[in-house]
Amino acid sequence: MIKKFINLEWKSFFRSAAFKQNLAIKILMAFGALYFIVAFGALGVGSYFIIEEFIEKGKIVADNPFQVVNGFLIYWVFADIGYRYMLQKMPVANIKPLLYLPFKKGKIVNYALGKTVISFFNFLPAFFFIPFSVVLIAQGYSVIGVIGWHLAMLFITLAANFLNVFMNNMDKVFYPVLAVIAGLGLSQYYGLFDITAYTGPMFMFFYENAWAFIIPLLLFIVTTYYAYHYFIKQLYLDEGLKAVAKEATTEDLSFLDRFGKLSTYLKNDIKLIKRNKRAKMTFIMGFFFVLYGLFFMNDLYSSINGMKVFAGLFCTGGFLFSFGGLVPSWDSSYYKLMMSQNIPYREFLLSKW
């Protein structure tokens, strides 16, 4: 059965009308994935020694680098869940055609959930944790303890994967939690409250007690079980997988009329950002690029010529990179309409600028 599903995926990719476009996007995504793999691998190898240097200079107060990493793992868990919520979606579009075929629903759900397990989001943390675990063993840490700690991180990653199934459309929960996490990060940065003092020992517990990886393992099993039953209950074209219809609303954007013809495009973009989930997430992530400078605006990189300029470009232009790069695809649905109207293309570009 799995062989049949893989065969269908292979055919849908190569027989797609937009095969060349999809192939180009896949190649670009592969380069992006390669960049993150190299970055995470380098961080896994070098983070121990970088933190150790900071401890020796008195810039970080801790007994050892492993303690520091365990303290900040709580932010990794939150970031992992957040990125999954924004970028990792269930393959609903690929599931709908299968409901017309003689496949059991359990098989379809297993296929859909299994497809999320082999997601890049699950493999990426391994490029940090595996080299970091090897460095820990090389530095004299207990082999059994490191293996137990590593397994705990693995099962936490997989549990977050299936937790995303429940959080897929829970905007009312996601945004308040995001605000709380941002508040915790800012309070720690300004010395008001340090959450890592409480979460660090929790992750250190997995190293000190190698058997403790069973706790994340049980969490992984529970989330998998509930994800399976939650998803199979939604596997109906007339209910679970149908598009959600919302009441249309109007917005007063007349204050943009002072820009003349450009106002039409500006209003469209504002409506897109407010109504489309992906565009909204891209807009929100634009603000997080401001925090990019925290990694580079320090003594470690100050001696590298041009590094602050590089970081400044990302801090101030992060939204332009993320939103602007997707403008052609988001506006392509009404390109034909624009071409049939008396609308200079230059004004369209000016509105985006």
Residue 242 CA, distance from chain mean position: 25
Q: Is 343 helix (H, G, I), strand (E, B) or coil?
A: coil
> What confidence category does residue 150 fall into, taking pLDDT thresholds of 50, 70 and 90?
very high
> What confidence category does residue 12 fall into, taking pLDDT thresholds of 50, 70 and 90?
low
- Span 321-331, mean pLDDT? 74
Check residues 65 and 191 and name the one with the higher pLDDT. 65
Residue 6: the pLDDT is 65
Check residues 239 and 66 and name the one with the higher pLDDT. 66
CA distance 47 to 62: 14
Residue 207: the pLDDT is 92
Residue 236: the pLDDT is 67
Residue 313: the pLDDT is 79
Q: Is the pLDDT confidence value at 241 over 80? A: no
Q: What distances in angstroms separate CA 120 from CA 37, 86, 126, 157, 332, one per listed residue? A: 10, 14, 10, 12, 28
What tokens appear for 230 in the block?
Answer: 């939650």
CA distance 263 to 348: 10
CA distance 85 to 16: 27
Q: What would the pLDDT profile of 37-83 be if each residue is shown by its tens digit?
A: 888 888 888 888 888 888 888 877 778 889 889 988 988 888 888 77
Q: What would the pLDDT profile of 283-325 be if each residue is shown by its tens digit?
A: 777 777 777 666 666 655 556 667 777 777 777 887 777 777 7
Average pLDDT, the chain: 78
In DSSP notation, 206-261 reads HHHSGGGGHHHHHHHHHHHHHHHHHHHHT--TTTTSSPPP--------GGGGGGTT
> What confidence category does residue 239 fall into, taking pLDDT thresholds of 50, 70 and 90?
low
Check residues 8 and 80 and name the one with the higher pLDDT. 80
- Which sign does the torsion angle of CA 181, 182, 186, 189 carry? positive
Q: Is the pLDDT confidence value at 344 over 80? A: no
Instruction: Name the most confidently modeled range: 7-11, 32-36, 339-343.
Output: 32-36
In DSSP notation, 95-153 reads HGGGGGSS--HHHHHHHHHHHHHTSHHHHTTHHHHHHHHHHHHHTT--HHHHHHHHHHH
Which phi and psi angles does 208 have, rounded to 5°? -70, -25
Nearest partner of 89 among 109, 119, 110, 111, judged by Cα: 119
Residue 217: the pLDDT is 93
Residue 5: the pLDDT is 62
Whether the Cβ atoms of residue 313 and residue 283 lie closer than 8 Å to each other: no
Task: Say if pTM beats, i.e. exceeds, 0.75.
Answer: no
